[in-house]
A and B are shown apart, each in its own frame.
Chain A
Amino acid sequence: MTSAATALDPTEARPASPPPAPRRRPPPPGRILAWALMVILLIITLFPFFWMLRTALSSNSALYANTISLMPADANLGGFQRVFGLQETEQAIAEGGSGASIDFWRYLINTVLMATGITLCQVFFSAMAAYAFSRLHWRGRDFVFGLFLISLMVPVIFTLLPNFLLVRELGLIDTLLGIMLPSMFMTPFAIFFLRQFFMNVPLEVEEAAMIDGAGRIRVFFTLIIPMTAGPVATVSILTYITAWNDYLWPLMVSYTDDSRVLTVALGNFTEQSPQTGPDWAGLMAATLVAALPMLLLFLAFARRIVSSIGFSGIK
């Protein structure tokens, strides 16, 4: 399905296939209707983000009296202050916070370490494997590659329980390494994705470098990786987002603040709310802070990620 992937590439798609939308009839009513539908779908897509921000900037006690105004109710930064532990305990409780210190910085740092560790290792090891499957010649290559293909079909749920037991036997429960371990070595997806792009590097380039005396390892690092920097960056970002957002596995492995990551901390948030009712302003501030790094990362690489989706989904 490479055709779908290349068609998504904006530089190629534009001249090749003009949009089939009718141009001869200037204002077709269908088009207005279609835009109206599109706008409605966009509002549904984006409204929760706006509401997160609006609530986060509100004062928690004012929320009860003011549930529908689109502007923040009694606007202030209290929610964010509570998230980062910048508020006195008494004031936090007065504003509906739990009072219990939620070590947000700790979770943020844990999450960054975890996602970074997974991404660096997984992409690097997957790239090495992808190189062996695409550019090296060895017996049994197709067979071994087939084994990796099969592993795509093993559902996540099935490996979770035995993997938990393994991590436990290794004494890595409640450590960041324990959270990172199962996805550090590779994912089948990363290998397939990178293999696809490595295969497209012209053989002549590689051969020329080897005639000049470069070894295979050097070719891999100084030629293949730089020439496929785009796809490598894409798969890294997708891996980072996936690792950042994972919940069930960290929930299984993590028990204390030593290894708690943002998703797990947020998941606990609802259980910690005091009798007064949940601290919605603080909670929405926390969800925003947890989601913001991925939204910013996406903002920086949106074009590349969006273009690669067509490729990744069809595999």
Chain B
Amino acid sequence: MSAVENPAPARPRLGRPRTAGRRDDTRLALMFILPAAIGLVVFYFWPLVRGIWLSFTSWDILTPARFVGLANYQEMIGDPVFWNAVRVTLIYVVINIGVQTVVALLLAVLMQRLSRSILLRSLVLTPFLVSNVVAALVFLWILDFQLGIGNQFLDSLGVGRVGFFTTEAWVIPTIALVNVWRHMGYTALLLFAGLQAIPSNLYEAARVDGASELRQFFTITVPLLRPILGLVLIISVIGSFQVFDTVAVTTNGGPVDSSRVLQLYIYDNAFGQFNFGYAAALSVALLVILLVVTVLQYRVTRAGQTDLN
């Protein structure tokens, strides 16, 4: 990643920073990073410390926070709603990421093979421009049991109506697919950027050898795209675990907790019941899950390595 490389390798600056003739802009630099540093410390690092500390307390905002040790974590382990939230969130992530990756990869390959038109790429990106709330409301309407065009369509096919947001079995897949709609174009563009980096002579050589399109896809595209695919997957999975908006607007966790994802449960505990300590402990659990998933993914996809060189 070029972002961490040295900007000016021509000027060695690690050797002796203070020798004569070196510019030293320390004072100016401190002034320049001051606002950003305030943001970093106050809104990233301090909340991190404070959140972990809060998870060991019992606190309802009204009375002072009381240190309770691991009580919140003990409660969490015995809390069936928590485990249900973990389960529901995992199902959501698997459906969301699974479908999104396949569709986005398909879109990216199609874009690469068919057209480089900016218009096409822009059209694909449009759902990404609307908020989750707007996306949720539009699909709430399209998939409405009585009036939604989606259900009218299914009915006319003879499939019958589906309570997309009202039946336990359908809620999570529906919400996952709504978010696939919103993000597939964006993901496709990221993958498309990766596809552009694969040298085209590889495909030419494969064609000369008589390899089919499908064969080329699996022997050239997929292996060479792997590092970028891995990174895109990690970014989308992290985002996907934090699903909230769509659920809050459409079902608010129902029916019967079947869409009560972790983030919603955290929000309910904090702002519904003012259990800030417990909500903080739930956040720590989500953080740990994210860390484990990220490390696992990084290893499995070997996202840091490339086959290109």
Contact = CB atoms under 8 A, between A and B. Distances in A.
Asked whether A and B interact, the reply is: yes
A51 to B, nearest CB: 6
Given A131-B32, A266-B137, A137 B13 contact: yes
B223 interface: no
Contacts of B40: 147-148, 151, 185-186
A89 interface: no
A15 to B, nearest CB: 12
A241 interface: yes
Would you call the interface of chain B mostly helix, strand, loop, or mixed?
Answer: helix
Contacts of A45: 123-124, 126-127, 181, 184-185
Given A137-B13, A267-B248, A302-B122, A10 B116 contact: yes
B110 A49 contact: no
Given A19-B112, A159-B48, A217-B28, A245 B126 contact: no
Interface stretch (B68-76, B78-86, B90-98, B193-201): B193-201
Contacts, number: 330
A298 B126 contact: yes
B133 interface: yes
Contact of B33 (A5, A52, A133): A133
Contacts of B249: 266-267, 270
B292 interface: no
B26 interface: yes
A287 B39 contact: no
B26 A139 contact: yes
Interface string B177-193: 00001001110011011
B35 A313 contact: no
B147 interface: yes
A14 B141 contact: no
Interface in A1-52: 1-5, 7-8, 10, 13-14, 17-22, 30-31, 34-35, 37-38, 41-42, 44-46, 48-49, 51-52
A87 interface: no
A161 B54 contact: yes
Contacts of B196: 4, 7-8, 13, 17, 310
Interface residues of A, number: 115
Contacts of B148: 67
A128 B33 CA distance: 6
Interface string A120-143: 000001101101111111110100
A63 B149 CA distance: 11
Contact of B131 (A1, A41, A196, A290): A290
A98 interface: no
B158 to A, nearest CB: 15
A298 B129 contact: yes
Interface in A280-301: 280, 283-284, 287, 290-291, 294-295, 298
B45 interface: yes
B4 A138 contact: no
A79 to B, nearest CB: 12
Interface stretch (A101-109, A162-170, A226-234): A162-170
Would you call the interface of chain A mostly helix, strand, loop, or mixed?
Answer: helix
B51 A22 contact: no
A248 B245 contact: yes
Nearest to B141: A280
Nearest to B26: A138
Interface in B256-299: 263, 266-267, 270-271, 276, 279-280, 283-284, 286-287, 290
A17 B200 contact: yes
B157 interface: no
B20 interface: no
Given A41-B110, A280-B147, A155 B287 contact: yes
12 contacts: A19-B200, A125-B35, A129-B35, A138-B24, A161-B270, A185-B40, A195-B3, A248-B245, A291-B130, A295-B129, A305-B125, A314-B190
Interface of B: 1-4, 7-8, 13, 17, 22-26, 28-30, 32-33, 35-40, 42-48, 50-51, 54, 103, 106-107, 110-114, 116, 118, 120-127, 129-135, 137-142, 144, 147-149, 152-153, 156, 181, 184-186, 189-190, 192-194, 196-197, 199-200, 203-204, 207, 213, 228, 231-232, 235, 238, 241-242, 244-245, 248-249, 263, 266-267, 270-271, 276, 279-280, 283-284, 286-287, 290
Interface of A: 1-5, 7-8, 10, 13-14, 17-22, 30-31, 34-35, 37-38, 41-42, 44-46, 48-49, 51-52, 55, 63-64, 67-68, 125-126, 128-129, 131-139, 141, 144-145, 147-149, 151, 154-159, 161-166, 181-186, 191-192, 195-196, 199, 203, 216-217, 220, 241, 244-248, 251-252, 263, 266-267, 269-270, 280, 283-284, 287, 290-291, 294-295, 298, 302-303, 305-306, 309-311, 313-315
